[in-house]
Amino acid sequence: MITQKELPSMGEIILVNITKIMPYGAYCELVEYKADAYLPISEVASGWIKNIHEFIREGQRDVAKVVFVDPTKKALDVSLKKVTSKEKKDKINDYNLEKRAEKFFMQALQATHKEAKAEEAKKKAAAVVQTYSELLDMVVEGKTPQGIFDADVKKAFEEIVAKNVKPKEYEVGYSVELRALAGKGNIATIKKAFSEVEALGVGVLYEGAPHYKLTAKGPSYPSVEGKIKEAEKTLEKYKGSLSISVKK
């Protein structure tokens, strides 16, 4: 995280290190914040707990959910049992990606012997994004923000990312029902409409008349959704001779 908040928000999924275990709970250090939290025994696991040491240990790193926040006292309670397996997996993946992106950020500064400008670069980056992983995504998509790095550092960062990160590819599919209106449309009209759609980079899969599927791929969901929207607009031009229904 480039800009670190003092405290996490209610319901936020966070990483914790368990530092001290007591009979009825445990104290935790927050990995991503300069703060501590309390883990009540009732939030360690579901069901009755006779011996807390059977469920957690000192030095353990885990994923927790914030269940109580008092900003005035900087007091926090967290829960392990309220974290789903998906939330736990996603949080660990997000954290690892964030640390990896931060490493690339620093490597670019080191490669150009500008480590002394690290804090300055971080402040400039914080004005554009909140996390290193957001910055990494922008670089992968070829949209490196201007003004964060000197030209040589920007080039080094882009080269490091290109060497180490495989661009993400997202795919979406929409179902289409397309029928020729009596006396107004025909197979040739449908073929013409779909040829214009394919020219936009959108795939057309025949599933058995009148059912078709539109598919698009790209580096981000907004980009692929944008392709589908353009395809819809193209098909709408034929509404006078075709019956068209597009559904996600």
What are 152-178's pLDDT values in tens digits? 999 999 999 999 988 777 889 999 998
pTM to 2 decimal places = 0.67
Q: In this structure, are strands 25-30 and 36-40 parallel, antiparallel, or unpaired?
A: antiparallel
Helices 221-236 and 187-198, packing angle to 10 deg:
150
Q: What is the pLDDT of residue 184?
A: 66
For domain 13-83, the CATH architecture is: Beta Barrel (2.40)
Q: What is the pLDDT of residue 187?
A: 84
Tens-level pLDDT at each residue, the chain (248 residues): 677 778 999 999 999 999 999 999 999 999 999 899 999 999 999 999 999 999 999 999 999 999 999 999 999 999 999 999 999 999 999 999 999 999 999 999 999 999 999 999 999 999 989 899 999 988 988 889 888 889 999 999 999 999 998 877 788 999 999 888 877 668 888 899 999 999 999 999 999 889 999 999 887 778 888 999 999 999 999 988 888 888 88
CATH value of 170-247 in 3.40.640.10, 3.40.50.300, 3.40.50.10860, 3.30.70.1130: 3.30.70.1130
End-to-end CA, the chain: 34
Q: What is the pLDDT of residue 140?
A: 86
- Give the number of other Cβ atoms within 10 Å of residue 116's Cβ: 8
Q: What are the boundaries of each domain within the chain?
A: 13-83, 86-164, 170-247
Judge whether 40 and 52 are in contact, CB under 8 Å.
no
Q: What is the pLDDT of residue 141?
A: 81
**227 CA to centre of own chain:** 20
Quick one: which of 172, 177, 185, 176 has its CA closest to 222?
A: 172
